[in-house]
């Protein structure tokens, strides 16, 4: 089975990750300045958050 894993592009990864952790009750699986993985444990869902890169 294929599961969609949307990527949320943001200007501030740490602040956005903290916001989603508080709002959705998710947990950090990988923290950083440019990329974060937030996980919902039941059912397991991965929500990647990445730094927005302007071209």
Fold for domain 8-51? 3.30.720
On whether the pTM is more than 0.75, the answer is no
Residue 39 phi, psi dihedral angles, 5° rounding: -125, 135
pLDDT in tens, 1-55: 777 777 888 999 999 999 988 988 888 888 788 888 888 766 666 667 777 767 6
Q: How far apart are the first and last CA of the chain?
A: 34
Which residue ranges make up each domain of the chain?
8-51
5's CB contacts (< 8 A; 6+ apart) are 46, 47, 48
């Amino acid at each position: 089975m294929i599961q969609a894993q949307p990527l949320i592009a943001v200007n501030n990864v740490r602040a956005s990750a903290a916001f989603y952790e508080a709002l959705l009750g998710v947990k950090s699986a990988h923290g950083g300045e440019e990329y974060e993985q937030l996980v919902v444990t039941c059912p397991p869902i991965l929500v990647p958050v990445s730094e927005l890169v302007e071209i």
